[in-house]
Amino acid sequence: MWLLKRTTGLLVVAAFLTFAATQSSSQQSSQRQTTPQPSPTPTEEPVKVFTEEVRLPVIALDAYGHYDPTLELDDILVLEDGVIQQLRSVRHIPANVLFLLDTGGDSTGLGGLSKSTNLTREVASRLVSRLQDGTSIAVMQSGNSAEMLQPWTTDKSAVLRTLKNKLLSTKRSRISEAMVSASMQLRERPEGSRHVVMITDGVDSPGGKVDRAEAMRKLIAARATVHVISYTEFVKQKSDKNSSPVVAGQRPPSSDPITATDPTLPPGTTRSPSYGIGIRFDPAMTRRRKAYEAELKKSEQALQNVADETGGRMMLPLNSQEMLAEATEIARAIDAEYVVTYRPKRPLAEAQPGEYRRIEVASRRPGLSLQSRRGYVPTPQN
């Protein structure tokens, strides 16, 4: 009897456990069915996000025209589209300098009246050697095409080797194409520290596919400070010296009629120096010269506009000594530049496509003058 009761009890317990397990399984199944599952993420186009900070390069000069190393936030007044902005910081950060070197040959056929690659190399090397250690440098050549000779590096000795061994003269110049390439190279460099140093006459060889005005717009939109060491005045000086059609001087013996017909004199000699005056007349050369000089005038104005718009410097040296001196001056300007940051009161995300925002920078401290770019175009960062 006791055994029967015990067996019956065990059966009851087993039945209860089986029922409980069944209920639990049913509940879990019900939960799996009722719990909503995440749906596959639909493919979406990238959202354009604006970094709500403007980095503004600023040069500070004291009353004597020297670079001021004591600039503070309270010394600066920044207006964007006429509205005073609340500044957040002012500091020095390592510069990023892209050299854009024009090595196109004398495609005008003017007998060496255009740029000199050797001089360009020397000027660029002088400037590189005077930049502060830690500066990131890249070198691009405008020759038959735009070519990156030296990727970004902080090794100044490597840059100097590149200038010595890779910078070569070419028949044509594609300076407009190079400006577009330069603007692309600057995209990944920190804003506020971008610099372009151009050594050029600004004249494209015929046959280029890039419009100069469009190239300069792209370079300005890259938000870099553009410094120009221009060959325009240098070339004009050489052109003026060689433009006279009158040639005076001692005639070569071969053109001396007396020497040529006098059998008593040894070949190649004359009784007295023979002098003469001649006139060169080459209509084709004259047309090429005038066309080139007209292009020089246009390019000088265009390069000046780019330098002014970006807060850079436009140098117009008259000779090689002045070009080397200007290299030192630009290196000092790059090293002295501050970066001022602010969060614009009108959000960048509200900017319309192609919108231009005008910038005015003024000094709050007597005797201090400030230089910066004239404005910028808000651009999204993907």
Rounded CA-CA distance 172/166 in Å is 17
In a domain, 254, yes or no: no
If 0-12 CB within 10 Å is exposed, 13-18 middle and 19+ buried, where does residue 252 land?
exposed
* pLDDT given for residue 382 in this prediction: 36
- Structural domain boundaries enclosing 191: 94-242+299-336
* pLDDT given for residue 208 in this prediction: 85
In a domain, 86, yes or no: yes
In a domain, 35, yes or no: no
* pLDDT given for residue 104 in this prediction: 85
Rounded CA-CA distance 80/342 in Å is 10
Residues 138 and 209 in one domain: yes
Residues 135 and 206 in one domain: yes
Residues 80 and 160 in one domain: no
Residues 235 and 357 in one domain: no
* pLDDT given for residue 163 in this prediction: 97
* pLDDT given for residue 290 in this prediction: 79
Residues 232 and 317 in one domain: yes
Give me the number of domains the chain comprises.
2
In a domain, 294, yes or no: no
Residues 218 and 354 in one domain: no
Residues 321 and 178 in one domain: yes
In a domain, 99, yes or no: yes
* pLDDT given for residue 17 in this prediction: 43
CATH code where residue 101 lies: 3.40.50.410
In a domain, 5, yes or no: no
- Confirm whether pTM is higher than 0.85: no
pLDDT < 70 regions, the chain? 1-51, 105-114, 238-282, 284-285, 380-382
Residues 109 and 146 in one domain: yes
* pLDDT given for residue 27 in this prediction: 47
User: Taking Cα atoms as reference points, which of 184, 227, 224 lies closest to residue 330?
Assistant: 227
User: Taking Cα atoms as reference points, which of 378, 346, 379, 376 lies closest to residue 360?
Assistant: 376
Residues 54 and 153 in one domain: no
